[in-house]
Amino acid sequence: MGYVVAIANHKGGVGKTTSAINLGTLLALTGRKTLILDLDLQGNATSGLGVRKEDQAGLAGMLLEDKAPIDACSPVYCEDLFVLPLGKHAATIEDEIRKNPLLMEKLEGVLDRIAAAWDFIILDCPPTFGLIPNAAIRQATYTCIPVQCEFFSVEGLTAMLKRIQELQTAGARSPRVGILLTMYTQGDDSSDQVRKAVEQNFGSLLLTPIIPRDPILSHAPRIGIPAVLQAPESRGARAYLELAWEVIKHERQEAG
Protein backbone atom coordinates (compact mmCIF):
# COMPACT_ATOMS: atom_id res chain seq x y z
CA MET A 1 0.00 0.00 0.00
CA GLY A 2 1.16 3.52 -0.74
CA TYR A 3 2.25 5.84 2.00
CA VAL A 4 -0.31 8.61 2.57
CA VAL A 5 0.85 12.04 3.72
CA ALA A 6 -1.87 14.54 4.62
CA ILE A 7 -1.00 18.23 4.54
CA ALA A 8 -3.67 19.75 6.71
CA ASN A 9 -4.53 22.83 8.73
CA HIS A 10 -7.98 24.36 8.90
CA LYS A 11 -6.37 27.79 8.94
CA GLY A 12 -6.22 29.20 5.43
CA GLY A 13 -3.14 30.44 3.59
CA VAL A 14 -0.54 28.71 5.77
CA GLY A 15 1.39 26.95 2.99
CA LYS A 16 -0.50 23.65 2.62
CA THR A 17 -0.66 23.72 -1.17
CA THR A 18 2.88 25.07 -1.56
CA SER A 19 4.08 22.21 0.64
CA ALA A 20 2.02 19.58 -1.20
CA ILE A 21 3.33 20.66 -4.63
CA ASN A 22 6.99 20.87 -3.66
CA LEU A 23 7.09 17.81 -1.41
CA GLY A 24 5.18 15.73 -3.98
CA THR A 25 7.49 16.83 -6.80
CA LEU A 26 10.62 15.94 -4.82
CA LEU A 27 9.29 12.51 -3.86
CA ALA A 28 8.49 11.82 -7.52
CA LEU A 29 12.01 12.89 -8.53
CA THR A 30 13.39 10.09 -6.33
CA GLY A 31 11.58 7.64 -8.62
CA ARG A 32 8.65 6.99 -6.30
CA LYS A 33 5.31 7.06 -8.08
CA THR A 34 3.62 10.00 -6.40
CA LEU A 35 0.08 11.35 -6.55
CA ILE A 36 -0.87 14.80 -5.33
CA LEU A 37 -4.52 14.43 -4.43
CA ASP A 38 -6.01 17.91 -4.57
CA LEU A 39 -8.90 17.79 -2.10
CA ASP A 40 -9.64 21.49 -2.21
CA LEU A 41 -12.48 22.94 -4.28
CA GLN A 42 -10.14 25.84 -5.09
CA GLY A 43 -7.95 23.37 -7.00
CA ASN A 44 -4.76 25.34 -6.29
CA ALA A 45 -2.46 22.30 -6.27
CA THR A 46 -3.76 21.34 -9.71
CA SER A 47 -3.42 24.78 -11.27
CA GLY A 48 -0.11 25.34 -9.47
CA LEU A 49 1.19 22.34 -11.41
CA GLY A 50 -0.04 23.88 -14.65
CA VAL A 51 -2.98 21.46 -15.09
CA ARG A 52 -6.48 22.66 -16.00
CA LYS A 53 -8.85 21.38 -13.31
CA GLU A 54 -12.14 22.18 -15.12
CA ASP A 55 -11.50 19.56 -17.81
CA GLN A 56 -10.81 16.72 -15.41
CA ALA A 57 -13.21 14.03 -14.23
CA GLY A 58 -11.09 13.93 -11.08
CA LEU A 59 -11.83 12.16 -7.82
CA ALA A 60 -15.51 13.12 -7.97
CA GLY A 61 -15.65 11.68 -11.49
CA MET A 62 -14.33 8.40 -10.17
CA LEU A 63 -17.36 8.27 -7.87
CA LEU A 64 -20.00 9.53 -10.26
CA GLU A 65 -18.65 8.31 -13.61
CA ASP A 66 -16.81 5.16 -12.51
CA LYS A 67 -13.47 6.28 -13.95
CA ALA A 68 -10.43 4.21 -13.03
CA PRO A 69 -7.82 6.09 -10.91
CA ILE A 70 -5.13 6.12 -13.53
CA ASP A 71 -7.54 7.34 -16.26
CA ALA A 72 -8.75 10.17 -14.07
CA CYS A 73 -5.41 11.90 -13.57
CA SER A 74 -2.48 13.23 -15.53
CA PRO A 75 1.29 12.80 -15.26
CA VAL A 76 3.07 16.13 -14.87
CA TYR A 77 6.73 17.09 -15.36
CA CYS A 78 8.09 13.59 -14.86
CA GLU A 79 6.71 10.12 -15.37
CA ASP A 80 6.28 9.53 -11.62
CA LEU A 81 4.33 12.66 -10.68
CA PHE A 82 0.54 12.77 -10.97
CA VAL A 83 -2.14 15.18 -9.83
CA LEU A 84 -5.80 14.39 -9.29
CA PRO A 85 -8.22 17.28 -8.63
CA LEU A 86 -11.70 16.89 -7.19
CA GLY A 87 -12.72 17.62 -10.78
CA LYS A 88 -15.69 19.04 -12.61
CA HIS A 89 -18.26 17.74 -10.06
CA ALA A 90 -16.28 19.25 -7.15
CA ALA A 91 -18.95 21.75 -6.11
CA THR A 92 -21.71 19.17 -5.64
CA ILE A 93 -19.98 15.93 -4.73
CA GLU A 94 -20.27 16.29 -0.94
CA ASP A 95 -24.03 16.97 -1.29
CA GLU A 96 -24.32 13.84 -3.46
CA ILE A 97 -22.55 11.79 -0.76
CA ARG A 98 -24.91 13.14 1.93
CA LYS A 99 -27.93 12.21 -0.21
CA ASN A 100 -26.58 8.77 -1.03
CA PRO A 101 -24.57 7.12 1.78
CA LEU A 102 -23.52 4.31 -0.60
CA LEU A 103 -21.28 6.88 -2.24
CA MET A 104 -19.27 7.11 1.01
CA GLU A 105 -18.56 3.38 0.80
CA LYS A 106 -17.61 3.84 -2.82
CA LEU A 107 -15.30 6.73 -1.88
CA GLU A 108 -13.53 4.52 0.65
CA GLY A 109 -13.05 1.87 -2.03
CA VAL A 110 -11.71 4.46 -4.47
CA LEU A 111 -9.25 5.78 -1.84
CA ASP A 112 -8.07 2.20 -1.22
CA ARG A 113 -7.51 1.70 -4.96
CA ILE A 114 -5.57 4.97 -5.08
CA ALA A 115 -3.42 3.92 -2.10
CA ALA A 116 -2.65 0.63 -3.86
CA ALA A 117 -1.68 2.28 -7.15
CA TRP A 118 0.90 4.88 -5.98
CA ASP A 119 3.98 4.76 -3.71
CA PHE A 120 3.22 8.15 -2.14
CA ILE A 121 -0.08 9.97 -1.99
CA ILE A 122 0.07 13.59 -0.84
CA LEU A 123 -3.27 14.99 0.29
CA ASP A 124 -3.60 18.73 -0.22
CA CYS A 125 -6.42 19.41 2.24
CA PRO A 126 -8.77 22.40 2.12
CA PRO A 127 -8.88 24.84 5.04
CA THR A 128 -12.02 23.07 6.31
CA PHE A 129 -12.92 19.56 7.39
CA GLY A 130 -15.33 18.11 4.84
CA LEU A 131 -16.52 14.57 4.17
CA ILE A 132 -13.95 13.90 1.44
CA PRO A 133 -10.85 15.28 3.19
CA ASN A 134 -11.88 13.51 6.41
CA ALA A 135 -12.17 10.18 4.60
CA ALA A 136 -8.76 10.75 3.01
CA ILE A 137 -7.05 11.86 6.26
CA ARG A 138 -8.25 8.62 7.87
CA GLN A 139 -5.82 6.81 5.56
CA ALA A 140 -2.87 9.06 6.32
CA THR A 141 0.14 7.63 8.08
CA TYR A 142 1.86 10.97 8.26
CA THR A 143 0.11 14.27 8.79
CA CYS A 144 2.11 17.40 8.22
CA ILE A 145 0.60 20.56 9.68
CA PRO A 146 2.03 23.72 8.16
CA VAL A 147 2.01 26.60 10.64
CA GLN A 148 2.70 30.03 9.24
CA CYS A 149 5.15 32.07 11.30
CA GLU A 150 2.69 34.84 12.07
CA PHE A 151 0.67 36.11 15.00
CA PHE A 152 -2.53 34.00 15.67
CA SER A 153 -1.02 30.96 13.97
CA VAL A 154 -0.75 28.90 17.14
CA GLU A 155 -4.33 29.61 18.24
CA GLY A 156 -6.58 26.64 17.63
CA LEU A 157 -3.62 24.35 16.99
CA THR A 158 -4.36 22.06 19.97
CA ALA A 159 -7.97 21.55 18.85
CA MET A 160 -6.90 20.83 15.30
CA LEU A 161 -4.19 18.38 16.34
CA LYS A 162 -6.76 16.48 18.40
CA ARG A 163 -9.15 16.38 15.46
CA ILE A 164 -6.51 15.08 13.08
CA GLN A 165 -5.24 12.47 15.53
CA GLU A 166 -8.80 11.19 16.05
CA LEU A 167 -9.34 10.91 12.30
CA GLN A 168 -5.99 9.21 11.76
CA THR A 169 -6.25 6.59 14.47
CA ALA A 170 -9.47 5.40 12.92
CA GLY A 171 -7.58 4.28 9.83
CA ALA A 172 -3.80 4.20 10.00
CA ARG A 173 -1.40 1.79 11.72
CA SER A 174 1.06 4.09 13.48
CA PRO A 175 0.20 7.60 12.48
CA ARG A 176 2.68 10.38 12.99
CA VAL A 177 2.02 14.10 13.09
CA GLY A 178 4.62 16.78 12.38
CA ILE A 179 4.32 20.55 12.62
CA LEU A 180 6.06 22.36 9.79
CA LEU A 181 6.89 26.01 10.34
CA THR A 182 6.38 27.95 7.11
CA MET A 183 7.11 31.46 5.83
CA TYR A 184 9.76 31.92 8.50
CA THR A 185 11.70 35.18 8.29
CA GLN A 186 15.08 35.20 9.98
CA GLY A 187 15.33 38.02 12.53
CA ASP A 188 11.62 38.82 12.42
CA ASP A 189 9.96 39.08 15.87
CA SER A 190 6.67 37.39 14.87
CA SER A 191 8.52 34.50 13.24
CA ASP A 192 10.66 33.96 16.33
CA GLN A 193 7.68 34.21 18.69
CA VAL A 194 5.76 31.56 16.76
CA ARG A 195 8.82 29.33 16.63
CA LYS A 196 9.30 29.62 20.41
CA ALA A 197 5.60 29.07 21.16
CA VAL A 198 5.57 25.90 19.03
CA GLU A 199 8.83 24.67 20.59
CA GLN A 200 7.46 25.22 24.11
CA ASN A 201 3.99 23.78 23.58
CA PHE A 202 4.41 21.18 20.85
CA GLY A 203 8.18 20.59 20.86
CA SER A 204 8.03 16.85 20.22
CA LEU A 205 5.94 17.41 17.08
CA LEU A 206 8.07 20.16 15.57
CA LEU A 207 9.79 19.07 12.38
CA THR A 208 13.46 19.99 11.93
CA PRO A 209 13.08 21.60 8.49
CA ILE A 210 11.71 25.12 8.64
CA ILE A 211 10.41 26.62 5.42
CA PRO A 212 11.68 30.18 4.95
CA ARG A 213 9.66 32.94 3.37
CA ASP A 214 11.05 32.84 -0.14
CA PRO A 215 9.57 34.75 -3.11
CA ILE A 216 10.40 31.88 -5.45
CA LEU A 217 7.80 29.77 -3.61
CA SER A 218 5.08 32.37 -4.08
CA HIS A 219 5.94 33.16 -7.72
CA ALA A 220 6.15 29.56 -8.89
CA PRO A 221 2.39 28.84 -9.17
CA ARG A 222 1.96 31.74 -11.60
CA ILE A 223 3.92 29.86 -14.23
CA GLY A 224 2.74 26.45 -13.09
CA ILE A 225 6.18 24.96 -12.46
CA PRO A 226 7.06 23.81 -8.92
CA ALA A 227 9.70 25.99 -7.24
CA VAL A 228 11.86 22.93 -6.53
CA LEU A 229 12.18 22.47 -10.32
CA GLN A 230 12.53 26.13 -11.21
CA ALA A 231 15.11 27.01 -8.58
CA PRO A 232 16.44 23.87 -6.87
CA GLU A 233 19.21 25.89 -5.20
CA SER A 234 16.82 28.38 -3.60
CA ARG A 235 16.44 28.43 0.19
CA GLY A 236 12.79 27.38 -0.12
CA ALA A 237 13.59 24.42 -2.38
CA ARG A 238 16.39 23.23 -0.09
CA ALA A 239 14.07 23.36 2.94
CA TYR A 240 11.50 21.23 1.07
CA LEU A 241 14.26 18.76 0.20
CA GLU A 242 14.94 18.34 3.92
CA LEU A 243 11.23 17.73 4.46
CA ALA A 244 11.16 15.12 1.70
CA TRP A 245 13.98 13.21 3.44
CA GLU A 246 12.08 13.31 6.76
CA VAL A 247 9.05 11.80 5.06
CA ILE A 248 11.12 9.14 3.27
CA LYS A 249 12.84 8.22 6.58
CA HIS A 250 9.47 7.68 8.23
CA GLU A 251 8.18 5.67 5.30
CA ARG A 252 11.25 3.41 5.48
CA GLN A 253 10.78 2.90 9.24
CA GLU A 254 7.15 1.98 8.59
CA ALA A 255 8.12 -0.45 5.85
CA GLY A 256 10.49 -2.09 8.38
Ligand X SMILES: Nc1ncnc2c1ncn2[C@@H]1O[C@H](COP(=O)(O)OP(=O)(O)OP(=O)(O)O)[C@@H](O)[C@H]1O
Helices (H) and strands (E) in the chain, counts: 11, 7
The reply on whether position 17 binds ligand X by CB under 6 A is yes
Distance CA 163, CA 18 (A): 23
Distance CA 231, CA 224 (A): 13
Burial environment of residue 153 by CB neighbours within 10 A (0 to 12, 13 to 18, 19 or more): buried
Q: Tell which positions 14-73 bind Mg ion, by CB under 5 A.
A: 16-17, 44
- With CB under 6 A as the contact rule, the residue among 2, 15, 85, 178 that binds ligand X is 15
- With CB under 6 A as the contact rule, the residue among 12, 31, 109, 156 that binds ligand X is 12
The reply on whether position 130 binds ligand X by CB under 6 A is no
Distance CA 170, CA 157 (A): 20
182 contacts which partner out of ligand X, Mg ion, none, CB within 5 to 8 A by kind? ligand X
- With CB under 6 A as the contact rule, the residue among 33, 218, 238, 248 that binds ligand X is 218
| The one segment of 11-19, 77-85, 142-150, 244-252 that binds Mg ion by CB under 5 A | 11-19
Q: Tell which positions 155-174 bind Mg ion, by CB under 5 A.
A: none
Distance CA 18, CA 161 (A): 20
Contact string (CB under 6 A) for ligand X, positions 179-208, x = contact: ---xx-------------------------
Backbone angles phi, psi at 74, to 5 degrees: -120, 145
